[in-house]
Structure 1
Amino acid sequence: MNDVVERTVAAELRQPVMPEAKAMADAILRAHGSAVGAILFYGSCLRSGDASGLLDFYVLLRKTGSWRPDRPLRGMFLRLLPPDVEHWSTEHDGRTIRAKVAVISCQQFAQRLQPASRDTTIWARFAQPAALLHARDDAAADWVRAALAQAVATAASWAAQLGPERGTPEAYWQALFTATYGAELRTERPGRAREVQAAAGSRYSALFLPGLARCGIAAEELPDGTVRPVLTTEQRRAAAATWRRWRRLGKWRNVARLVKAAFTFEGGADYLAWKVQRHSGIAVPLTPWQRRHPILAAPLVLWQLRRAGAVR
Structure 2
Amino acid sequence: MTGVADGGWPEAEGLAEQLALQGDGAVRLVLLYGSRLLKTAPDQHSAFDFVVIVDDYKGFYKGLAKYRQLGRPLALMQGLARILAPNVIAYDGGNGSLAMAKCAVVSKEDFEQALGPSPKDHFLLGRMVQRIEIVWSQSSLEDTWVRGVINGAHRGVLEWMAPYLSGDFSAEDVGRRLLEVCYQGEWRPESQGRARMVFDAQADHFAQALDPVLSAAAVSGKVLGTTEGRYALAAPASAADRRRWRLHFRRSKRRATMRWLKHMMTFAKWLPYVVRKAERHTGRSIKLTSLEKRMPLIFLWPRAIHFMLTKSNRGARP
2:139 corresponds to which residue? Answer: 137
Gaps of 5+ in 1: 1-7
1:171: Cα distance to partner? 1.9
Gaps of 5+ in 2: 66-73, 310-318
1:244 corresponds to which residue? Answer: 246
Q: Secondary structure at the match of 1:60?
A: strand
Give me the whole-angstrom Cα distance separating, in 2, the residues matched to 1:115 and 1:255. 23
227, 230, 234: which one pairs with 1:223? 227
Tell me the number of residue pairs that the alignment of Structure 1 and Structure 2 aligns: 294
Give me the whole-angstrom Cα distance separating, in 1, the residues matched to 2:186 and 2:90. 20
Q: How does 1:78-97 map to 2 (within 5 A)?
A: 78-90=81-93, 95-97=97-99
1:308: Cα distance to partner? 4.9
Amino acid at match of 1:59: V
Q: How does 1:245-260 map to 2 (within 5 A)?
A: 245-260=247-262
1:79: Cα distance to partner? 0.7
Give me the whole-angstrom Cα distance separating, in 2, the residues matched to 1:163 and 1:16. 39
Judged with a 3 Å threshold, the aligned counterparts in structure 2 of structure 1 residues 183 and 283 are, in CA distance, closer, same or farther, namely farther
Q: How does 1:118-137 map to 2 (within 5 A)?
A: 118-137=120-139
Q: Secondary structure at the match of 2:92?
A: strand
1:74 corresponds to which residue? Answer: 77
1:42 corresponds to which residue? Answer: 33
Task: Determine if contact 2:48/2:102 at 8 Å carries over to the other structure.
Answer: yes
Give me the whole-angstrom Cα distance separating, in 2, the residues matched to 1:142 and 1:80. 28
2:18 corresponds to which residue? Answer: 27
Amino acid at match of 1:166: D
Amino acid at match of 2:253: K
Judged with a 3 Å threshold, the aligned counterparts in structure 2 of structure 1 residues 127 and 16 are, in CA distance, closer, same or farther, namely farther
Q: How does 1:157-176 map to 2 (within 5 A)?
A: 157-176=159-178
Report the more deviating stretch, 126-135 or 210-219: 210-219
Q: Deviations over 1:37-88 (max 9, x none)?
A: 1111111211229753221111001123222147232112111111111122
1:287: Cα distance to partner? 5.7
Judged with a 3 Å threshold, the aligned counterparts in structure 2 of structure 1 residues 127 and 106 are, in CA distance, closer, same or farther, namely same
Give me the whole-angstrom Cα distance separating, in 2, the residues matched to 1:276 and 1:14. 28
TM-score if structure 2 supplies the norm length? 0.77
1:306: Cα distance to partner? 8.6
1:15: Cα distance to partner? 5.5
Q: Give the 4+ runs in structure 1 shifted more than 4 A.
A: 214-217, 269-291, 300-311
Amino acid at match of 1:22: E
Judged with a 3 Å threshold, the aligned counterparts in structure 2 of structure 1 residues 103 and 285 are, in CA distance, closer, same or farther, namely same
2:316 corresponds to which residue? Answer: none
26, 37, 58: which one pairs with 2:51? 58
Judged with a 3 Å threshold, the aligned counterparts in structure 2 of structure 1 residues 284 and 181 are, in CA distance, closer, same or farther, namely farther
Q: Percent identity?
A: 24
1:4 corresponds to which residue? Answer: none
TM-score if structure 1 supplies the norm length? 0.78
2:105 corresponds to which residue? Answer: 103
Judged with a 3 Å threshold, the aligned counterparts in structure 2 of structure 1 residues 238 and 33 are, in CA distance, closer, same or farther, namely same
1:114: Cα distance to partner? 1.6
1:121: Cα distance to partner? 2.1
1:261: Cα distance to partner? 2.0
Amino acid at match of 1:127: V
Task: Determine if contact 2:163/2:236 at 8 Å carries over to the other structure.
Answer: no
Judged with a 3 Å threshold, the aligned counterparts in structure 2 of structure 1 residues 208 and 39 are, in CA distance, closer, same or farther, namely same
Task: Determine if contact 2:189/2:278 at 8 Å carries over to the other structure.
Answer: no
Judged with a 3 Å threshold, the aligned counterparts in structure 2 of structure 1 residues 80 and 181 are, in CA distance, closer, same or farther, namely same
1:176: Cα distance to partner? 1.1
Give me the whole-angstrom Cα distance separating, in 2, the residues matched to 1:26 and 1:61. 14
Report the more deviating stretch, 26-35 or 192-201: 192-201
Q: Secondary structure at the match of 2:169?
A: coil
Judged with a 3 Å threshold, the aligned counterparts in structure 2 of structure 1 residues 175 and 266 are, in CA distance, closer, same or farther, namely closer
Report the more deviating stretch, 95-104 or 245-254: 245-254
1:127: Cα distance to partner? 0.9
Task: Determine if contact 1:42/1:130 at 8 Å carries over to the other structure.
Answer: yes
Report the more deviating stretch, 32-41 or 257-266: 257-266
Give me the whole-angstrom Cα distance separating, in 2, the residues matched to 1:48 and 1:88. 21
Give me the whole-angstrom Cα distance separating, in 2, the residues matched to 1:217 and 1:279. 41
Q: Deviations over 1:264-293 (max 9, x none)?
A: 2433355466667878999795766984xx
More helix by share: 1
Task: Determine if contact 2:224/2:231 at 8 Å carries over to the other structure.
Answer: yes
Structure ranking higher on relative contact order (CA contacts 8 Å, 6+ apart): 2
Judged with a 3 Å threshold, the aligned counterparts in structure 2 of structure 1 residues 164 and 39 are, in CA distance, closer, same or farther, namely same
1:304: Cα distance to partner? 4.9
Task: Determine if contact 2:32/2:49 at 8 Å carries over to the other structure.
Answer: yes
